[in-house]
Amino acid sequence: MAGPGAAERNGEAEATAPTFSDVLRANQGMVFSIAYHFLRDRAAAEEVAQDVFLQLYRSFEELQNGAHAAFWLRRVTSNRSIDYVRKRKLQAAVALEDAPEPSVSEEPGDPMLNRRLRALIGSLPETPRMVMILRYQEDLMPEEIARTLDMPVRTVKSHLQRSLAMLREKIGRSMGDIR
Amino acid sequence: MEDLERQLKNALARKDAPDWFEAKVMASIRRDGGVQARRPALRWRWASALAVTVLVIGGVTWQHERMVQERAAGEAAKARLELALKITRVKLQRIEQRLNETERDN
Amino acid sequence: MKIAYMAFVALLPVAAQEFKIPASLDKLADKATEVVDVTLDGSMLQLASRFLSEKDPDEARVKRLVAGLKGIYVKSFEFEKSGEYEESDVAALRSQLKGPGWSRIVGVRSKRNGDNADVFIGSDGGQVTGLVVIAAEPKELTVVSIIGSIKPEDLRDLGGNFGIPKMEIGGHKSTGAKEE
């Protein structure tokens, strides 16, 4: 796997492929966040994130570079998070006041609105929920989301459109219009 | 970009993984009998291939098996030590931070 | 590091009794969303130390730190919401450390964010024989007990291994504001 980072080999430091630790350190926030925003449960998100990295460790030599690792992590985290919900029939749509939030440094925007939006996203069915998270947390384009979740681009766009429409309507009713 | 989309980006901004998440992952890997993570994965592949060859050709001697088990136990203990020290460090840092804040306020 | 300096000046001539994290604290596990429980007695520390590399500067420092220790015990409970543990749980811990040989070198009570924290040093004849950290935050309670010989530079080194940034030892004499 090519990319930045150094690894020790035969006692000499050389610029080589990043180690597992490098990849873990660089991507733990991303993996945890995808799981957390999807599952709305911190302990569950940690459990899923840990499993993802254990799986990464076992598959590490199959990865080609840093970008491939990021793609792999997003895909596996998405799949594992969705599986987690389906297996446990977890109710991720929780009332605003009950939603547990991990301690975070200051977040941008209006905290009340942010919480409301996260709760509404949590109420979406699994697939559109993950599409929204990959779009707005990871800033992926529909084509990239389609590759990550292994679904047609038009399906991704359809999920995005319908989810945005639902959010616009519900936020508009509760907090006034947001265009 | 639409206001709603901007707000969604804010709402879904990445959260930090818990303080000692990395240490816990490494502890799990070592508990499962993995090799030190600082070695490149390729080395682990060679090491495991060698271990399999020994098993197939020579059979497992009692000493070899004991060594493998001891190594796994040692790596697991080392990972737990890492975790304990990291938690201690984080807490002491936070306390020092609070002290500094209090001194500044006074 | 302030705390390292305070530890050095707090040494008492009377031997400190070993501090054990009480098993009664385990009841908090039922309410916690996450529990970290690490127990490393002398033999486990020795075992771990054998797998620390002398060639790696970080691991070598930890190896030196661990050489003088008899045990490291950590219990950390994280909760979904505040108010899941009682002040009496924390008070019971602190009362164990009022015995001879123990001195509290740091006590922080923060009204701003609800964090309370204490650092205790145990000593025997001028040597540090134990370190206890009790960090009581609204949604988290952590207790760390390190038993054994600890030098002030070891406290500094707690920050220098496994990729954690080091802290500098300062010359402040502050004993912490807002103590009880």
Domain segments of chain C as ranges:
2-40+73-157
What is the pLDDT confidence band of residue A6, given thresholds at 50, 70 and 90?
very low
For residue C163, pLDDT beyond 60: no
Alpha-carbon dihedral A74, A80, A86, A88, rounded to 10 degrees: -130
Find chain A residues with C-beta within 8 A of B15's C-beta: 29, 32-33, 36-37, 102, 104
Cβ-nearest to A100 among C55, C80, C163: C80
- Among chain A residues, the shortest Cα distance to C139 is held by A103
CA-CA distance, A80 to A90, in Å (whole number)? 13
pLDDT score for B7: 93
Residue A53 bridge partners (DSSP): none
- The CA-CA-CA angle for residues A78, A83, A86, to 5°, reads 130
Contact between B77 and C44 (Cβ < 8 Å): yes
pLDDT score for B51: 60
Find chain C residues with C-beta within 8 A of A42's C-beta: 33-34, 80
pLDDT score for A97: 40
Question: Tokens standing for A99?
Answer: 């939603």
- The ipTM value here is 0.81
Asked if A29's CB is within 8 angstroms of B16's CB, the reply is yes
CA-CA distance, C157 to A147, in Å (whole number)? 46
Weakest-pLDDT range from A144-158, B53-67, C21-35: B53-67
Using left for φ > 0, alpha for ψ between -120 and 50, and beta otherwise, residue C51 falls in alpha
Contact between C78 and C33 (Cβ < 8 Å): yes
Cβ-nearest to B98 among C117, C133, C159: C117
Find chain B residues with C-beta within 8 A of C174's C-beta: 99, 103
CA-CA distance, A59 to A43, in Å (whole number)? 24
Best of A12, A39, A120, A137 to mutate (most B CBs within 10 Å, chain B)? A137
For residue B24, pLDDT beyond 60: yes
pLDDT score for B80: 87
Q: Check if B33 contacts A (Cβ < 8 Å).
A: no
CA-CA distance, B1 to B14, in Å (whole number)? 19
CA-CA distance, C89 to C101, in Å (whole number)? 22
Asked if A36's CB is within 8 angstroms of B37's CB, the reply is no
CA-CA distance, A146 to A136, in Å (whole number)? 14
pLDDT score for A11: 39
What is the pLDDT confidence band of residue C121, given thresholds at 50, 70 and 90?
confident
pLDDT score for A138: 96
Best of B31, B70, B87, B104 to mutate (most C CBs within 10 Å, chain C)? B87
Question: What's the rounded mean pLDDT across residues B69-94?
Answer: 84
Question: Tokens standing for B7?
Answer: 């707000």
Domain count, chain B: 1
Q: Look up residue A169 and give its DSSP letter.
A: H
pLDDT score for C34: 83
pLDDT score for A101: 57
Asked if B77's CB is within 8 angstroms of C162's CB, the reply is no
What is the pLDDT confidence band of residue B76, given thresholds at 50, 70 and 90?
confident
Between A142 and A100, residue with greater pLDDT: A142
Subunits with 3+ C-beta pairs closer than 8 A to B: A, C
Question: Tokens standing for A27?
Answer: 């991507």
Question: Tokens standing for C58?
Answer: 């970080």
Contact between B92 and B43 (Cβ < 8 Å): no
Find chain B residues with C-beta within 8 A of C106's C-beta: 95, 99
Q: Rounded to a whole number, what is the distance in angstroms from the first to the last CA of chain A? A: 44
Distance from CA of B86 to the nearest CA of A (A): 15
Asked if A24's CB is within 8 angstroms of B22's CB, the reply is yes
Cβ-nearest to B99 among C74, C108, C135: C108
Q: Is residue B24 part of a domain?
A: no
Distance from CA of C96 to the nearest CA of A (A): 31
C31-76 pLDDT tens trace: 888 888 898 989 899 989 998 888 888 888 889 889 989 999 999 9
Domain A18-175 has CATH 2.60.220.30: no
For residue A139, pLDDT beyond 90: yes
CA-CA distance, C62 to C58, in Å (whole number)? 7
Using DSSP, state whether C38 is helix, strand or coil: strand
Question: What's the rounded mean pLDDT across residues A77-98?
Answer: 71
Contact between C120 and C103 (Cβ < 8 Å): yes
For residue A163, pLDDT beyond 90: yes
What is the pLDDT confidence band of residue A165, given thresholds at 50, 70 and 90?
very high
- Among chain B residues, the shortest Cα distance to A34 is held by B14
Contact between A81 and A48 (Cβ < 8 Å): yes
Q: Look up residue C146 and give its DSSP letter.
A: E
For residue A103, pLDDT beyond 60: no
Distance from CA of A145 to the nearest CA of B (A): 16
For residue B39, pLDDT beyond 60: no
CA-CA distance, A60 to A54, in Å (whole number)? 10
Q: Is residue B106 part of a domain?
A: yes
CA-CA distance, C175 to A25, in Å (whole number)? 36
Question: Tokens standing for C160?
Answer: 């220098």
CA-CA distance, B30 to B78, in Å (whole number)? 9
Subunits with 3+ C-beta pairs closer than 8 A to A: B, C
For residue A166, pLDDT beyond 90: yes
Contact between C103 and C121 (Cβ < 8 Å): yes
Residue C74 bridge partners (DSSP): C38, C144
User: 63-82 in B: which are within 8 Å (CB) of C?
Assistant: 71, 73-75, 77-78, 80-82
For residue A1, pLDDT beyond 60: no
Q: Is residue B86 part of a domain?
A: yes
Find chain B residues with C-beta within 8 A of C155's C-beta: 92
CA-CA distance, C130 to C144, in Å (whole number)? 10
- Among chain A residues, the shortest Cα distance to B40 is held by A19
- Average per-residue pLDDT for chain C: 78
Using DSSP, state whether A39 is helix, strand or coil: helix
